[in-house]
Amino acid sequence: MPGFELFGDAERKEVNDVLESGVLMRYGFDGMRNGHWKAKELEKELETRFKVNHAQLTTSGTSAISVALAILGVGAGDEVIMPTFTFVASFESILTAGATPILVEVDDTLTLSPEAVEAAITPRTKVIMPVHMCGAMADLDALKAICKKHNLFLLEDACQAFAGTYKGEYLGTIGDVGCFSFDFVKTITCGEGGAVVTNDNTLAKFADHFSDHGHTHEGNDRGAELHPFIGYNYRISELNAAVGLAQIRRTDEFLDIQKRNKKILKDALSTIPEVSFRRLPDEEGDSATFLSFFMPTAELSKEVVVAFKEHGVDAYWNYFDNNWHYVRRWEHLKEVKSLFPLSKEIKEGLQNLSEVSFPQSDHWIARNISCLIKLSWTEEEVQARAANMVKAIQSVLAKV
Ligand SMILES: *Cc1c(COP(=O)(O)O)cnc(C)c1O
């Protein structure tokens, strides 16, 4: 997955453009910047590549989700439905908005279970936020239908599925709003950065203003601009945007490598009848950043994790005991360890969270192993890796 593996001359050139002018800010200073507008150019690239009307860069994927929630009008008393398997950023952004995160089961897609989503809807629900984990998509047709039926917003967290598609449309552009992350370990990186995309002109204007203190970005006197509503500072710097600009131009190159490498590993594991694969609602749209598979039991999965290590296979995860990606280890959330007081609604919502169990999520996450697909492997390395993975799994199965 990580674009940083292929950082090189193209990235350095874009950064040098910015360093030569010294204009590190994305807005203003028109006369000094030698015609370089890296953030604006990167937004254009996102719009063109993903066929979406508007892209707004932010400082991170987390802040992109914060902006997305703000422009959808999510706040105190509202509930946002999110999956049990994601990154902590999901609930962090919801809490930052003053809203209540409602955690919902994932299924064999490793993303939101549409049935569980529908069962979790209350009069306070405002947004359904699927997270396209480990490179591939949630069941967006089902989730879209639920949003339509209950008049809810669909916010796609596509931070881990950059350039993935669903039935020919880019992930992130299918819901009302979509979010991307360009942190250091994502498919393309800015160092730190993120983006909000939408086809809605009003939401786009809100995102533009909100992410820069409410600035309207009209005219050429920043100090004289108006502030139609309260904003915040989630502006990306030109330096970060410059790195992303070089990286986004390499998207096709990155995806081709990922798909090629993933196919070799998947073909090899397909020869083992006990191994099953994560269900992909649209196989063709997989961005191929991970190969995610299931063993028949949680115990076998644990043993495969050990066997991989013994066979020299790296960069894989079983997320069941993971501190950052799965609800089981989010004690800080369940025990409301906040530095500042939270609203009554949030506290009550989190109280409920500490009491519920997620048997369906436990079932799939305990059996799952997700392997990162790297860009820097040579073909020989991938072939050797595939052979080692098969050997490791067979050594575990031979003991049963
Ligand atoms: C990385 C990530 C984020 C947050 O992105 P940052 O840029 O690191 O803040 C949000 N959601 C998911 C699923 C992620 O993987």
Amino acid 7: pLDDT: 86
Q: Which of 140, 160, 144, 129 is nearest to 65 (CA)?
A: 129
Among 1, 60, 62, name the best residue to mutate to test ligand 1's pocket (greatest count of ligand atoms within 8 A of Cβ): 62
Ligand 1, closest atom to CA 60? 7
In this predicted model, which residue has the larger pLDDT, 5 or 194? 194
In terms of domains, do 238 and 296 share one? no
The answer, yes or no, to whether residue 218 has pLDDT greater than 70, is yes
Residue nearest (by alpha carbon) to ligand 1 atom 5: 61
In terms of domains, do 179 and 196 share one? yes
Ligand 1, closest atom to CA 89? 10
In terms of domains, do 204 and 267 share one? no
Ligand 1, closest atom to CA 186? 1
What is the C-alpha end-to-end distance of the chain, expressed in Å?
Answer: 34
Number of domains in the chain: 2
Give the whole-angstrom CA distance, residue 243 versus residue 50.
19
Q: Active-site residue among 38, 186, 262, 302? A: 186
Ligand 1 centroid–CA 46 distance in Å is: 18
Mean pLDDT of the chain: 96
Q: Could you give the residue ranges of the DSSP H alpha helices within the chain? A: 9-21, 38-50, 61-71, 89-96, 114-120, 140-150, 201-210, 238-248, 251-269, 298-310, 331-334, 344-355, 359-367, 379-398
In terms of domains, do 72 and 28 share one? yes
Amino acid in the structure at residue 278: R
Residue nearest (by alpha carbon) to ligand 1 atom 2: 159
CA atoms within 13 Å, Cβ hemisphere of 331: 4
In terms of domains, do 239 and 306 share one? no
Give the whole-angstrom CA distance, residue 68 versus residue 51.
19
In terms of domains, do 182 and 326 share one? no
In terms of domains, do 202 and 270 share one? no
Residue nearest (by alpha carbon) to ligand 1 atom 3: 61
Give the whole-angstrom CA distance, residue 66 versus residue 326.
20
Ligand 1 centroid–CA 193 distance in Å is: 10
CATH of the domain at 292: 3.90.1150.10
Amino acid 326: pLDDT: 98
Give the whole-angstrom CA distance, residue 102 versus residue 360.
16
Q: Between helices 251-269 and 379-398, what is the axis angle to 10°?
A: 30
Ligand 1 centroid–CA 387 distance in Å is: 32
Do the beta carbons of residue 14 and residue 38 sit within 8 Å? yes
Ligand 1 centroid–CA 186 distance in Å is: 8
pLDDT digits (tens, 9 = 90+) for 388-400: 999 999 999 999 8
In terms of domains, do 210 and 73 share one? yes
Ligand 1 centroid–CA 115 distance in Å is: 25
Residue nearest (by alpha carbon) to ligand 1 atom 6: 61
Which of 250, 273, 294 represents a domain boundary (last residue)? 250
Ligand 1 pocket (Cβ < 6 Å) reads 60-62, 86-87, 89, 131, 157, 159-160, 181, 183, 194
The answer, yes or no, to whether residue 6 has pLDDT greater than 90, is no
Ligand 1 centroid–CA 146 distance in Å is: 25
Ligand 1, closest atom to CA 194? 7
Q: Which residues pair with 180 in a beta bridge?
A: 195
Ligand 1 centroid–CA 1 distance in Å is: 14
Active site residue 186: yes
Write phi, then psi, for 276 (nearest 5 degrees): -120, 160
Spatial neighbors of 27 by CB under 8 A, at least 6 apart, are: 212, 215, 217, 222, 235
pLDDT digits (tens, 9 = 90+) for 313-354: 999 999 999 999 999 999 999 999 999 999 999 999 998 898
Amino acid 359: pLDDT: 98
Among 63, 157, 192, 327, name the best residue to mutate to test ligand 1's pocket (greatest count of ligand atoms within 8 A of Cβ): 157
In terms of domains, do 242 and 178 share one? yes
Q: How confident is the model at residue 1 (pLDDT cuts 50, 70, 90)?
A: low
Integer angstrom CA distances of residue 29 from 21, 34, 286, 338: 10, 10, 41, 40
Q: Which of 352, 317, 286, 296 is nearest to 136 (CA)?
A: 286
pLDDT digits (tens, 9 = 90+) for 222-258: 999 999 999 999 999 999 999 999 999 999 999 999 9
pLDDT digits (tens, 9 = 90+) for 92-116: 999 999 999 999 999 999 999 999 9
In terms of domains, do 95 and 140 share one? yes
Which of 224, 250, 276 represents a domain boundary (last residue)? 250
Integer angstrom CA distances of residue 388 from 161, 274, 392: 27, 17, 6
The answer, yes or no, to whether residue 159 has pLDDT greater than 80, is yes
Give the whole-angstrom CA distance, residue 50 versus residue 43.
11
Give the whole-angstrom CA distance, residue 389 versus residue 134.
19
Rounded mean pLDDT of 159-181?
Answer: 98
CATH of the domain at 177: 3.40.640.10
In terms of domains, do 314 and 329 share one? yes
% pLDDT > 90, the chain: 97
Domain housing 311: 252-397
Q: How confident is the model at residue 5 (pLDDT cuts 50, 70, 90)?
A: confident
Ligand 1, closest atom to CA 193? 7
Integer angstrom CA distances of residue 261 from 245, 264, 305: 25, 5, 20
In terms of domains, do 113 and 28 share one? yes
Ligand 1, closest atom to CA 183? 7
Which of 212, 228, 250 represents a domain boundary (last residue)? 250
Rounded mean pLDDT of 118-140?
Answer: 98
